[in-house]
Amino acid sequence: MRVSTSQIFRQGVDSIQSQQAAASKTSLQVANGKRILVPSDDPAGAAQGLELGSAIETTQQYQKNALLAEARLNHAESLLEAAGTNLLRVRELAVQGNNDSLSAQDRGFIAAELRQRLDELLTLANSRDANGEYIFAGTRSHTEPFAPDGAGGFNYNGDDRQRLLQISATRRVAIGDPGQDAFMAIPNGNGSFSTQDDPANTGTGIIDPGSVNDPSAYVPDTYTISFTVPDAYEVRDSGGALVAGGAYTPGASIGFNGIQTHIKGQPQVGDRFSIAPSTPQDVFSTYQNLIDALENPGGTAADKARFHNAMNRALTDLDQAQEGFLDIRAGVGGRLNILDSQRDINEGALVSLNGTLSEIQDLDYAEAVARLKSQLAGLQAAQQTYVQFQRLSLFDYLR
């Protein structure tokens, strides 16, 4: 068999190109630090690498979500703390204003500060986050949640849902609390029932908030305590049935159906007091009721009794609002703890995933450098051989 000159040259070029391609690939591997440059280098490893890369990206997104949730919850917690501080100051002013030694002008000054505190609370409740979204609007985060209704009350324009962020494959966390829970749906009275004096009372009776002293005997209903004769009272339920009655002693306990309350002062015949199950009341209205009471204390003995009854109700409602703020803050704190825990779990998962991906994709530099040296030596040998073949021509001898 004869071997043509062209075939010899082609084989030499092919050998050089093959050595160059191998050396170039190894150089690229060394430069990138990756063993797998294209799927054909290791099909199984490439598929595993894609799966691991996707898992890493997803976990990194969970970490970003956790950081976002943490920032928003910290903001909400600081707002609730400020609202609680505001409420404490309002309670101090209410206790101060409930003193009979103050003049109407003094109470007017207190009411003026309370109006400032009400405006401050509204501002806190309508706060936004760094993205311009309202913190306490539920999922309607672009709608201002709280506004006066023009008739002395306040409207909530958000919804009662929570926005959730995924922080792991199996866990989501609420990044806020709807304003309905934080500021609006606060049970009035002592949380079980609320006491109220009749506006038409002519005596000086003042009822306290009362309490449920026997939960097993408590029957929620609207009860009316009436003074039918001097120094005697009777209690009837919403259906008019007689529940209890007896002689009245100022400040003595009045108990029935698991309820205990006290009335001090001297009610007149026909005076009435009601005990009704607690209903939701917004904290803004509690502030407004307190302001109204301070601005209209009245001058007669009956007026003073109405004023102190209103102030007692306001103080009790303020306590319920403070308890509500603390409950919401406790929930926020619990979610922040969950975020810390989940971020640690995610960080551990990232370390493990990156380690596995490194074992599959990363290059063994010592082996690669040795291989590159061998390939470069082979390339040099191929080039020198090609040069020698070029001289194997009759024309070289005919010169």
- Encode pLDDT of 59-82 as tens digits: 999 999 999 999 999 999 999 999
Q: Do 383 and 16 meet the contact criterion of CB atoms below 8 Å apart?
A: yes
Of residues 246 and 298, more confidently modeled: 246
Answer yes or no: is pLDDT of 265 > 90: yes
The confidence score (pLDDT) of residue 399 equals: 54
Give the domain ranges of the chain. 34-188+292-362, 194-278
C-alpha 218/C-alpha 373 separation (Å) is: 91
Comparing 295-299, 364-368, 376-380, which segment has the lowest mean pLDDT? 364-368
Answer yes or no: is pLDDT of 253 > 50: yes
Q: What is the mean pLDDT of residues 159-171?
A: 91
Q: What is the mean pLDDT of residues 160-176?
A: 91
CA angle 279, 285, 288 (to 5 degrees): 145
Q: How many helices and strands in the chain, by DSSP H and E?
A: 8, 15
Per-residue CA distances from 351 to 56, 166, 361 (Å):
9, 20, 15
Answer yes or no: is pLDDT of 85 > 90: yes
How would residue 397 be classed by pLDDT, with cut points 50, 70 and 90? low
Residue 158 DSSP symbol: S
Query: From the CB of residue 196, how many other CB atoms can be counted at a distance below 10 Å?
Result: 18
pLDDT in tens, 319-345: 999 999 999 999 999 999 999 999 999
C-alpha 184/C-alpha 167 separation (Å) is: 29
Answer yes or no: is pLDDT of 130 > 90: no
Rounded to the nearest angstrom, the gap between the alpha carbon of residue 233 and the centroid of all alpha carbons in its chain is 49
Token representation of residue 244 = 């209890």
Q: Which residue has the tokens 């922040």?
A: 336
C-alpha 389/C-alpha 12 separation (Å) is: 8
Q: What is the mean pLDDT of residues 154-172?
A: 92
C-alpha 358/C-alpha 338 separation (Å) is: 30
Of the options 3.30.70.260, 3.10.580.10, 1.10.645.10, 1.20.1330.10, the CATH number for the domain spanning 34-188+292-362: 1.20.1330.10
Rounded to the nearest angstrom, the gap between the alpha carbon of residue 27 and the centroid of all alpha carbons in its chain is 52
C-alpha 143/C-alpha 130 separation (Å) is: 15
pLDDT in tens, 31-55: 555 655 555 555 766 667 678 788 8
The confidence score (pLDDT) of residue 1 equals: 46
The confidence score (pLDDT) of residue 55 equals: 87
The residue ranges of DSSP E strands in the chain, in sequence order, are 146-148, 154-156, 164-166, 172-174, 186-187, 193-197, 206-207, 211-212, 223-229, 232-236, 242-247, 253-256, 259-264, 272-277, 280-281
Q: What is the 3-state secondary structure (H, E, C) of 179-209?
A: HHHHHHCEECCCCCEEEEECCCCCCCCEECC
Q: Do 299 and 309 meet the contact criterion of CB atoms below 8 Å apart?
A: no
To the nearest whole number, what is the mean pLDDT of the chain? Answer: 85
The confidence score (pLDDT) of residue 307 equals: 94
